[in-house]
């Protein structure tokens, strides 16, 4: 059973995107949505949560179209690093429990990736991720729903931290999967109004062996307001680390 589990995990790692065609046809389990996002083992037609839905505001849809068009238009222009690729977003199927023991099917069928655990469109985390071809930058278009309220009328700081960890962790996973968060430093500058759309931009600062140092900022879509700044450290881990109890 252990050998079978490891085989499936390596199969997931081989799904890392190498181009638009593969990205659209295979689930990028480690690079999409931080660690281990994949199509549900109980679903033949997994839902891609990063596609537009009726809850998206006009600004969210405008930015999605902007970056998606950049990706499509640049598909045949070579690998100059300047174009963007959308990452699909699937719910996680939780396959491993503590000690490498499988969860029961009853529990496993209810497992949800945290940011996708509320299925009501627009109620919580609405976002789509793009990465630049040279993998030096990752960008997220984020719209916060009413269930993420902290200060009256504004987004909870923990929800902002979750999105920063999601974006920077996805970025680190693109560079070297699998990874785990070692440190996350956040400075909150200005509150984010509920229902508004913001940009979360992640930039690779440096790499030192297994360590990836990444900086991140959350800003208004026109760049006029800085909401949050952060730095993150991610460490590459081995497959055996994931299976260890």
Length reported for the chain? 245
CA dihedral (244, 16, 10, 103) in degrees, to 10, reads: 50
Residue 186 DSSP SS3: strand
How far apart are alpha carbons 160 and 175 in whole angstroms?
23
Beta carbons of 157 and 188 less than 8 angstroms apart: yes
Q: Catalytic residue among 48, 134, 165, 222, which? A: 165
How far apart are alpha carbons 28 and 45 in whole angstroms?
15
Tokens of 156: 């909870």
Residues 6+ apart with CB under 8 A from 54: 121, 122
For the question of residue 134 being annotated catalytic, the response is no
Residues 6+ apart with CB under 8 A from 128: 50, 51, 64, 86, 87, 89, 140, 141
Query: Residue 69 CB: number of other CB atoms within 10 A?
Result: 11
Residues tagged active-site: 165
């Amino acid at each position: 059973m252990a050998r079978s589990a490891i085989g499936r995990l390596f199969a997931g790692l081989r799904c890392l995107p190498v181009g638009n065609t593969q990205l659209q046809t295979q689930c990028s389990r480690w690079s999409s949505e931080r660690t281990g996002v994949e199509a549900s083992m109980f679903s033949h037609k997994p839902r891609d949560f990063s596609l537009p839905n009726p809850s998206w505001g006009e600004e969210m849809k405008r930015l999605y179209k902007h970056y998606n068009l950049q990706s499509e238009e640049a598909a045949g222009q070579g690998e100059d690093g300047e174009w963007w690729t959308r990452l699909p977003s699937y719910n996680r199927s939780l396959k491993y429990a503590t000690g490498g023991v499988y969860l029961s099917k009853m529990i496993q069928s209810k497992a949800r990736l945290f940011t996708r655990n509320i299925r009501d469109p627009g109620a919580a985390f609405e976002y789509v991720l793009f990465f630049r071809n040279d993998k030096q930058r990752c960008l997220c278009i984020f719209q916060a729903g009413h269930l993420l309220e902290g200060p009256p009328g504004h987004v909870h700081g923990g929800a902002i931290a979750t999105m920063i960890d999601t974006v920077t962790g996805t970025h680190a996973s693109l560079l070297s999967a699998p990874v785990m968060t070692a440190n996350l430093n956040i400075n909150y500058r200005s509150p984010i109004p509920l229902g508004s759309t913001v940009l979360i931009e992640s930039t690779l600062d440096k790499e030192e062996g297994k360590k990836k140092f990444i900086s991140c900022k959350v800003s208004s879509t026109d760049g006029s307001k800085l909401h949050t700044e952060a730095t993150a450290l991610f460490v590459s881990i081995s497959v055996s680390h994931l299976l260890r109890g």
